[in-house]
Chains A and B, each alone.
Chain A
Amino acid sequence: MRCVIKGWAMECKQSLRLLNAYIDDSLSWREAESIEKHLASCSGCARELHELKSLQQVMRSLGRREAPEGLELRMKIQASKHTGAWIPAGAINRLKDSLQPFAIPAVSGVILTCLFFIPLLSIFFTGSNLNASGTDIPSGLFTEPRPQLLYPSQLVQWENFQKVKEPITIEAEVRQDGTVRNYTVLKGPSDPATIRSLDQFLYFEVRIDPATLFGRPTPGKVVLSLSFYPTINEEIDVVG
């Protein structure tokens, strides 16, 4: 505290700066002790301290100014307006507060999703159009292959089929002359005996009207369902 180099004037300046904190009891014990030492020897600073204390006493003696009557009541009335509908409002605000951080990410997410999926959706819709078969809308431009009336032949070994209790579904590729080029068993038995009989039947017996495109025969595909019943073994049900 004591500044030997710059002398007493500096010490007073320093002490005056600290006097406020001193009367507010905001100095450390060491600072308070050194300022008290200085005050004991410096009448100017002691006078300053005395004036500051007088001012502080005057300010404190003002007391608390009494609020006008009715102010407290007005406050309470005002408060009651806020306590009434508070809980729902508070809950809504809390919900808003908690959702607010997600608002921008959520909106941008929705927008990005739309931007990404709208082109895809159009592809899906176009795709379904591409998958539509020519017979969906009969236009005459394209006709499916159609089997002619089928009847049994001596060449087919019907006894093989008679063992088959379930219908056989096949998909046959038909040439433009109406003969079967190849076929696949989609459903039903595929044991060698049945396959042999099916080969005999499909390659040599059955006749199919070929598919046409703009009236000209063209290769196509047809799905046939063949049912064999032991009692009526001559009936072949064909579904085109």
Chain B
Amino acid sequence: MSNFEIGFEFVENEVAFVDRLQVGSDEAFETLIHLYQAPIYNVAYRILGDASEASDAVQETFMKIFKGIKTFRGESGLKTWIYRIAISESLNRQRWWKRWRRNVPVSIDDTAPNGTRLVEVTDSRPSPESACAQMEMEREVQKALNGLSFEHRVVAVLRDIEGLSYEEIAETLGLSLGTVKSRLWRARSEMKTKLESVLKSQSRQPQRHAFHSRRG
């Protein structure tokens, strides 16, 4: 269960929460920021592959959420509505990026990773070697993600990093379930090819846990 889902249980009743947001409750806004800031930043970062771009995308996303929440009718879930805004904002930023900064070399390490981030990664007490290996692997994965087309990248990020269900992805992107599945299949196939060396080294390590222990 991701942090996002844990946070969402805390909210309990989404309808009441949206009502409080719509009347402009400070407390509800704080909760919203607390719950969604991290996942939105993560999605934006994985899609854009750049920290400052991701920060801008998060700010724009929240601006749109704050403005748009009063017209939110609950036709889709709050979570998918927010993800939809975040993805459309990321797409806008990516277009802008491609247009204006195409030739600037992009580094995914433009903000130095701090210790707390590394603590979050699988091992609770990483040795410097494993932390380094983890960083290297993350760099490779991000590079592979950046090499995917936007629609394949979005599906891969939402499913494999954010852990959204097929239905949630379909609702977020306004696609049919079949399209989501086929895009995910293509994204994974491409990722496997791009990350062949990483996966081989990974498969040499002992497996830590069973994968399909959780559903959706």
Contact = CB atoms under 8 A, between A and B. Distances in A.
Interface of A: 17, 20-26, 50-68, 71-72, 74-76, 78-80, 82-84, 86-87, 90, 93
Nearest to A93: B70
B195 A25 contact: no
Given A58-B198, A68-B51, A90-B22, 12 more contacts: A50-B203, A54-B199, A55-B188, A58-B137, A62-B121, A63-B122, A66-B113, A67-B37, A71-B37, A82-B24, A84-B24, A90-B70
Interface in B195-216: 195, 198-199, 202-203, 207-208, 211-212, 214-216
B160 to A, nearest CB: 4
Contacts of A24: 159, 166, 212, 216
B41 A52 contact: no
B129 interface: no
Contacts of A60: 160-161, 163
B16 interface: no
Given A63-B121, A83-B26, A23 B212 contact: yes
B63 interface: yes
B29 A79 contact: yes
Interface residues of B, number: 66
B12 interface: no
Given A20-B184, A54-B203, A75-B62, A80 B161 contact: no
A26 B177 CA distance: 11
A93 B68 CA distance: 12
Given A57-B211, A72-B33, A76-B33, A62 B41 contact: no
Q: Is the interface of A mostly helix, strand, loop or mixed?
A: helix
Nearest to B211: A53
Nearest to B29: A79
B59 A74 contact: yes
Given A58-B202, A83-B26, A93-B70, A64 B208 contact: no
Given A24-B159, A25-B216, A71 B188 contact: no
B172 to A, nearest CB: 16
A59 to B, nearest CB: 4
A79 B46 contact: no
Contacts of B184: 20
Which 5 residue pairs spanning A and B have beta carbons closest together? A86-B24, A59-B160, A67-B41, A79-B29, A82-B66
A62 to B, nearest CB: 6
Contacts of B29: 76, 79-80, 82-83
Given A52-B192, A54-B199, A65 B37 contact: no
B30 to A, nearest CB: 6
B192 A51 contact: yes
Contact of B66 (A50, A71, A74, A79): A79
B141 A20 contact: no
Contacts of B45: 65
A74 B51 CA distance: 16
B62 A79 contact: yes
A63 B212 contact: no
A68 B116 CA distance: 12
Interface in B138-195: 138, 141, 156, 159-161, 163, 165-166, 181, 184-185, 188, 191-192, 195
A159 to B, nearest CB: 90
A61 B161 CA distance: 8
B158 to A, nearest CB: 11
